[in-house]
Amino acid sequence: MSLLSSVERAPRDPILGLTEAFKADDRPGKVNLGVGVYMDADGTVPLLECVKTAQDRLAANPAPYGYLPIDGLAAYDDAVVDLVFGDTVPRDHVAVVQGLGGTGSLKVAGDLLRRLQPEAKVLISDPSWENHQALFSRAGFEVERYPYYDAEAHGVDVDAMVTALGEAPAGTVVVLHACCHNPTGYDLTPDEWARVEQVVRERGLVPLLDMAYQGFATDLASDGAAVRRFAASGPVFVTTSFSKTFSLYGERVGALSVVCADADEAARVLSQLKIVVRTTYSNPPTNGATLVATVLGDAELRSQWEGELAGMRDRIKEMRVALRSGLEQARPGIVAEHITTQNGMFSYSGLGKEQMVRLREEFALYGLDSGRLAIPALNPGNLDRVVDALAKVWP
Ligand code: LMR
């Protein structure tokens, strides 16, 4: 038997693999409610005006594409720290590297943490973004879950969550969703964050906050509050993604920031992060980070970005309201209120695998088997069709 003849076919990725199946479907009226990608009312991924202006500026002054430093574009790294932490921590207390989107940044975090704490476990929420489990397992960790979603209450079981964290051994890495929890859409309140932060610090756990949707729940400041709370009280790992917030999915723009005790510690941590980066992808790409740094570094473009981000957020909220009221009209008595109380791109609908498969097979509507629906895929042109189909399978 040759080396490759025994290779097993792996299952398709639960999120991006669904997009592959969606693309291969030639039925008219199909809708991809799977992947978390923001689309405009006409069903296209937007090119933000602020990004277009930045592109035009860069095109007017073409620059060669030399290697970036291992940790990335300095102006970009500074802009990330400013956006994520404001004045909560001194700049030189933060070790930051430009990452390949949120996923690439999590991967760098996972690899460093595994070297620092080889015996530690990683705790992720139950449920969590599918890639958290896969990514931290691949980094060599044993991954377990802390209670999070309360199906009956349509919310978070914060008591169970705090109890579980209170029993975790010191050094356990706890992955938290900074805002717009993926997949449920249920976030902690500020008081609940205070409880979680307290138990994390009391137990000596290692918090890792994944922030891929800053600005999609309420605004940049409120959505960043949990990260700043942790940054003010001790070490924290924070991953940032600009895929959604800048609509720069294919550019893979993200970052990993590690808040340290002082500048010396940050310099030592950065030196280790650079080894992880150098041995993984050597150094990051130039274009996306330059676009983000250009926008964040220019007061006018930054305020235009905040307006465009608010526009995306508002359209998602409108679609939530329209979906809920459509369902309530289609089937009086239906329980759909939670669609409008969840945050961010996703609605954890409460539908099970059987119903999701039926949606796919009978109606060409592609949501995740977990029941997660990507709300930005909805628009006035497909809403009625989606409502009709959902009303037929809704419990
Ligand atoms: C999602 O959850 O759909 C997005 O974060 C895209 C991805 O990479 O999975």
Q: Which residue out of 129, 187, 223, 305 is catalytically annotated?
A: 129
Closest atom of ligand 1 to CA, residue 35 = 3
Rounded Cα–Cα distance for residues 294 and 251 (Å): 15
| Cβ 305 under 6 angstroms from ligand 1 | no
Give the residues across from 146 on adjacent strands.
125
pLDDT at 213: 98
Q: Where are the domains of the chain?
A: 14-47+312-393, 65-297
Q: State the pLDDT at residue 1.
A: 78
Respond yes or no on whether the N-terminal peptide bond of residue 190 is cis (omega within 30° of 0).
Answer: no
Q: What helix, strand, coil percent values describe the chain, rounded to 5?
A: 50, 15, 40
- Binding site membership of 129 for ligand 1 (Cβ less than 6 Å): yes
- Judge if the beta carbon of residue 15 lies within 6 A of ligand 1: yes
CA 339 to chain centre: 19
Kindly report the protein residue whose alpha carbon is nearest to atom 1 of ligand 1: 36
Bridge partner list, 121 = 142
Does residue 129 have an active-site annotation?
A: yes
Three-class SS of 123-140: EEEECCCHHHHHHHHHCC
Q: 193, 210, 223, 305: which one is catalytic?
A: 210
pLDDT in tens, 327-386: 999 999 999 999 999 999 999 999 999 999 999 999 999 999 999 999 999 999 999 999
Q: Does 384 qualify as catalytic in the annotation?
A: no
Give the tens place of pLDDT for each residue, 154-191: 999 999 999 999 999 999 999 999 999 999 999 999 99
Q: And the tokens for 21?
A: 């199946």
| Spatial separation of the C-alpha atoms in residues 335 and 350, rounded to whole Å | 10
How many angstroms separate the Cα of 239 from the Cα of each of 40, 91, 99, 161? Answer: 26, 16, 9, 22
Q: Residue 257 pairs with which residues in a beta bridge?
A: 96, 238
**Domain 65-297 CATH class label:** alpha beta
Q: Is the CB of 366 under 6 A from ligand 1?
A: no
- Of ligand 1's listed atoms, the one at least distance from the Cα of 374 is 3
Residues of the chain below pLDDT 70:
none
- Class of CATH domain 14-47+312-393: alpha beta
Is the Cβ atom of 131 under 6 angstroms away from ligand 1?
Answer: yes
Phi, psi of 227 (to 5 degrees): -60, -45
77 carries an active-site annotation: no
